[in-house]
Amino acid sequence: MRRIRACGILLMTRSSPRSFLLLRHDDRWDLPKGRVDGDESDLDCALREFEEETGIPRSSIALDPTFRYTEVYSPIRKKTGERDHKTLVIFLATVPDRLEITLTEHLGHEWVEWRPPHDIQANTINPLLAAVADHLSAIDG
């Protein structure tokens, strides 16, 4: 079983109405994320992938140091049918308002208004957004 570690960032606006960024693949919505390279840390991987996939420099975002979402699951590879062991780590970051996106690997993007609960993708996105909703509720009181 191949072991994969991937990291990414959920980007949210601080302006009202609050929204978050999703990137479009041909068959689903996803976050800016990708696989860890060599000895790269989870955060370094997330920041690198975020910059590569959105064109937004890391200096433009504010990371939330108190949020880190981890999910472990076993996806099946489309080409071989083999199962992988995947660990996904997602960090939370904010920007004042929606930024321009420069896509390099995706078909499109969307800023989705923050109105939990969300039903976007049952296996990864929905549990992440539920964890973010709990986190923000605890902060906002």
Q: Phi and psi for 120 in degrees, rounded to 5? A: -115, -50
The residue written with tokens 């996803």 in the block is 30
Active site residues: 49
Token pair in block for residue 65: 């140091």
What the block records as the tokens of 59 is: 């200096």
For residues 99 and 16, the answer to whether their CB atoms sit within 8 Å is no
User: 4 to each of 27, 37, 115, how far by Cα in Å?
Assistant: 21, 10, 31
Residue 107 Cα distances to 6, 24, 103, angstroms: 20, 5, 8
- β pairing state of 19-24 and 84-95: unpaired
Tokens at 117, concatenated: 């609960």
